[in-house]
Amino acid sequence: MISTKLKKILLITSFFVYGHLYSSEKYSFTEYELPNNVVKKGGFELTYSEDGFLEADVKAVGDQSSYIFKSILNIPPAGFNIFDLKDPNQVMGISLFTLSIDPSIDYKSFKKTRAVETLDRTHPYFKDQNWNFAVSFKGYEQITLSGNDFNTIHLYTNGDRATGPEHCMYGGYGVIDIDSWYSKETGKLLKQVFIKRNCRPYDYKYLVKEVLELVPGNAGGSGGGSPPGIAPGAGTVGQGNKGEVTKPKKGSVVNVGGIKYIVGEDGSLKPSD
Distance CA 188, CA 224 (A): 13
The number of folded domains in the chain is 1
- pLDDT of 179 strictly over 80: yes
Regarding pTM above 0.85, the answer is no
Q: Is 157 exposed, middle or buried (0-12, 13-18, 19+ CB in 10 A)?
A: buried
Which secondary structure element, helix H or strand E, spans residue 4, and what is its range?
helix 4-18
> Is residue 9, in this structure, part of any structural domain at all?
no
pLDDT digits (tens, 9 = 90+) for 201-216: 988 888 999 999 999 8
Whether 246 contacts 53, CB under 8 Å: no
pLDDT digits (tens, 9 = 90+) for 129-139: 999 999 999 99
pLDDT digits (tens, 9 = 90+) for 95-122: 999 999 999 999 999 989 999 999 998 9
> Is residue 89, in this structure, part of any structural domain at all?
yes
> Is residue 139, in this structure, part of any structural domain at all?
yes
Q: Which residues lie below 8 Å from residue 228, measured CB to CB, with a gap of 6+?
A: 22, 23, 48, 75, 100, 236, 237, 238, 239, 245
Note down the domain range covering 55.
20-240
Average confidence (pLDDT) over 77-93:
93
> Is residue 86, in this structure, part of any structural domain at all?
yes
> Is residue 127, in this structure, part of any structural domain at all?
yes
Distance CA 170, CA 177 (A): 18
Phi and psi (nearest 5°) for 5? -60, -45
Distance CA 88, CA 63 (A): 22
Find residue 15's DSSP bridge partners. none
> Is residue 26, in this structure, part of any structural domain at all?
yes
Distance CA 85, CA 202 (A): 27
> Is residue 98, in this structure, part of any structural domain at all?
yes
Rg (CA), the chain: 19
